[in-house]
Amino acid sequence: MEGGERLVRDKRGIIVLLIVCAMLLLGGCQAANSTAPDIGPSHEQADNGREQVILTYASWGTLNEKEAKERMITQFMEKYPWITIQHIHEPGEYIKKLTTMYASNKAPDVFMLYKHTALQWAEQGKLYNLKKFLEVDAEINEDSLISNAVMYWERDKVAGIKVAEEAFALYYNADLFQEAGVALPPAKAENAWSWEQFLLAAKKLTLDRNGHNALSPDFDVNQITQFGVRFNSWMWYLMVPSNDASVISPDGSKMNLDDPAVIDAVQKLADLIYVHHVAPSPIQSKNLPQPALALQSRKIAMDLNGQWVQIDLGAANVNYGVGVLPKLKTSKTIQFGEPLVMSSTTRHPEEAWLFYKWQLDAENSIDLHRGGLWMPLLKDYYTKPELIARWADLNPGHPAGYQDAVMRQTIQNGVNSYDYYLKNNENINAVLQPALDQVWLGKKNVKEAFESVADKMKIAFRGTYP
């Protein structure tokens, strides 16, 4: 009897063991056959056998940007718990860091990149062609994005999409305008200052140590304590679109630096320094603080700058405002956002795209948009009042006039920076920059500088991207 009971128990144990093995085998088959859909599953699905994926993400930026991006990453991982994002933040030698990672076969899956570098790396096969995602994704596609957001290196080959839009405007210290009795710069394109009106305001706002402005016969150009305006000399072509011209010829066959309209637009900036004495020279600029602090400390009254300066102006507690850029012939601004890209070597393109497109929705990095650093990529954030209110209504990141001077101006009158399209950009700049340095140092006029490198520019020119 005892032996019979033992036999029954053994049989029952074998049956239980077989059932457990069958269940484990079935579960393993289901896990092996599961694939990541284009849209994320619920948390329940993520917890039922989905393979964990690790993605690396690289970016630059300040400590505040880093913290905002890490909040964005945390929110993404909460929604997609099977994906882990490892953030590589490099505020210094960013391209050197990326180059080293590529050389060691450890390229990040998703990363920010400078526009001209992105196009070159795409040609070299380093970047993933995002066209297939844009064609099938219901949320992020060329219809849902603002104009000039997508970067092509060949027809039907997308190198990247701007991670956010950026544009240029005229920022000013409102207190200095009031004290000088100067009307504030207009915010709407149809009311944009002519160059002559802008120059007159700059002269009234430029003061020497005795309080004389640049209109006074007693004005001392060697003892300026407050400049009417400053600008970035690296944005030497800032006024070119407004003069109905382009740095690259309209047919894309050559650099357009012999166009009188291009020369005139650049010369007008140089004349602010050496003819009208209302803007600091490069040497004088070295003694000025960063733009936000320069406006706050009354070293400058106006600043021709990118909208990213708003995050610093808001933090500096400056009574500042923003107007559209002055115009030469038509009111324009230059769009300047840098692209987000995906490595061609990523092992997880579907998951990488999930994280990629997560960043393109302003809601997921709303801190960077509210603060004034970034502008959204999706059209709805420029047209739907409830979404505009999420980012563009908020001070101190967005002063009075912002929606007309920057938000609407970008959408209605924005032109992409020429380096979104120029091949061999680095070598061309290596030729062009020394010539421009002669302009900013007051040693040559613009026409002379461009003519001095014309032959080298012809050799360096390699055409354009789509």
**Lowest-confidence range among 10-14, 228-232, 246-250?**
10-14
Q: Say yes or no to pLDDT of 216 above 90.
A: yes
CATH topology agreement for domains 53-166+337-391 and 168-335+418-460: yes
pLDDT of 62 reads 87
Which residue bears the tokens 């993520």? 46
CATH topology of domain 168-335+418-460: D-Maltodextrin-Binding Protein; domain 2 (3.40.190)
Query: Is the pLDDT at 34 greater than 90, yes or no?
Result: no
Strands 300-306, 168-173: pairing kind: antiparallel
pTM: 0.87
Cross-strand partners of 341: 111
Cα–Cα dist 38/134, whole Å: 12
* pLDDT reading at 351 higher than 50: yes
Reported confidence tier of residue 74, pLDDT bands at 50, 70, 90: very high
Dump pLDDT digits (tens) for 369-406.
999 999 999 999 999 999 999 999 977 899 989 999 99
Exposed, middle or buried: residue 229 (CB in 10 Å: 0-12, 13-18, 19+)? buried
Q: Which CATH number applies to 53-166+337-391: 3.40.120.10, 3.40.190.10, 3.30.460.10, 3.20.20.140? A: 3.40.190.10
User: Domain coordinates of the chain in residue numbers?
Assistant: 53-166+337-391, 168-335+418-460
Region 44-49: mean pLDDT is 49
Indicate the DSSP class of residue 305: E
Using a 10 angstrom Cβ sphere, with 0-12 exposed, 13-18 middle and 19 or more buried, the burial of residue 352 is buried
